[in-house]
Amino acid sequence: MEEKNKNTEEGIKKEYLKKKPVSVEAHQIPTLSMTDGVLIPNKKNKHIVTSWRITFYGAIILLACLCLFVTKTNSKGVTTHPYWEIFKFTIQGAPTTFQVTIFAIIGAVIIGTATGLGSVSKNKIVNGICGIYVELIRGIPLLVQLMFLYFALGSIIHLEGIVAAIIAFSICFGAYMGEIIRAGIQSIPKGQIEAAKALGLTKSQVFWYVTLPQTIKVVLPAIGNEFISMLKDSSLVSVLALSDILKRGREYISRTFMSLETMLIVALIYLIFTLILSKLVGMMEERLHKNG
């Protein structure tokens, strides 16, 4: 009888253990960070730093070797450096690329900040407008926005190509930055805000001295990746006939039919620029965390 009861108890325990949910501590759950930008170098992550150095210096060495040592002799016996000629021609589009990127970054930060603050606002109208803006812009490809703003609205409001590109990039990336800033603000523990209010700080003082400094630290890596993505996506402005790096490369191809050589130089130029920007963002992030 006792053995029967023991067997029954063991069976009940086994069934309970099968149905019992397994609890996992929060710190044991691995998290994955996904981005379409270049990895931002961090001194603590030796793998990323090493990979960045190998990629950056490898691109520099490859570009230098192609421009200096690769020659081509034409039918008349004249020796030329084709890659050097391609580089000199395509690099002339760099000012346009950086002009669009820098002004679009400023516009996107302004729009993104306003959108992020509006998304956490208690005003339902402001909150709703910001939500509609984010969902609308994120649902339309950037290339479509560029062409709509320049060609479709161009018949109503005349915009220069460079102005249309800056506005389109600012509006598009402003929506993404708005979501980043919203998430950063909401990541601040409410206990800190309540403690600051209990000390007698006003809402504006809580925002400037408690919420904003911590939000910047949280969102800086994500915003840095958005800057890098913006630099790469600036190649889309070639559809507006702007002479950026890609447009200059396409012009050179139409003249010489050297597609492989030209696109290789264009790719290396973009790679070097994005790697430099990622390093600058990483340095800024490290300094911000160091200074507190």
- Residues 212-252 pLDDT 10s: 888 888 888 888 888 999 999 999 998 888 889 999 999 99
Under 8 Å between Cβ of 115 and 219: no
pLDDT at position 57, please? Answer: 93
Dihedral over alpha carbons 282, 185, 178, 224 (to 10 degrees)? 0
Mean pLDDT of 78-86: 89
Q: Check pLDDT > 60 for residue 17.
A: no
pLDDT at position 20, please? Answer: 44
pLDDT higher for 10 or 272? 272
Residues pairing with 79 in the sheet: 73
pLDDT at position 230, please? Answer: 92
Find the radius of gyration of the CA atoms of the chain.
27
pLDDT at position 286, please? Answer: 80
pLDDT higher for 24 or 274? 274
Amino acid at residue number 13: K
Q: Which tens digit of pLDDT belongs to each residue from 147-184?
A: 998 888 877 888 888 999 999 999 999 999 999 999 99
Q: Check pLDDT > 50 for residue 4.
A: no
| Residues whose CB falls within 8 Å of the CB of residue 205, separated by 6 or more in sequence, listed in order | 196
Q: Which tens digit of pLDDT belongs to each residue from 243-281?
A: 899 999 999 999 988 999 999 999 999 999 999 998 888
Q: Two tokens at 87?
A: 């580089």
Instruction: Put residue 241 in one of left, alpha, beta given phi > 0 → left and psi -120 to 50 → alpha.
Output: left
**40-291 topology per CATH:** MetI-like fold (1.10.3720)
Task: Please state, in angstroms and as integers, the Cα–Cα distance from residue 189 to each residue in 18, 29, 121, 132, 290, following that order.
Answer: 37, 20, 17, 27, 22
| Residues whose CB falls within 8 Å of the CB of residue 247, separated by 6 or more in sequence, listed in order | 93, 237, 238, 241
The pLDDT confidence band at residue 30, using thresholds 50, 70 and 90, is very low
The pLDDT confidence band at residue 7, using thresholds 50, 70 and 90, is low
Placement of tokens 């400023």 in the chain: 106
Q: Could you state, in order of their start, the residue ranges of all structural domains in the chain?
A: 40-291
Q: Check pLDDT > 70 for residue 97.
A: yes
Task: Please state, in angstroms and as integers, the Cα–Cα distance from residue 101 to each residue in 178, 233, 251, following that order.
Answer: 18, 9, 21
Other C-beta atoms within 10 Å of 186: how many?
Answer: 13
Sign of the torsion angle spanned by Cα atoms 229, 231, 232, 235: positive
Q: Two tokens at 81?
A: 């450096």
pLDDT at position 202, please? Answer: 85
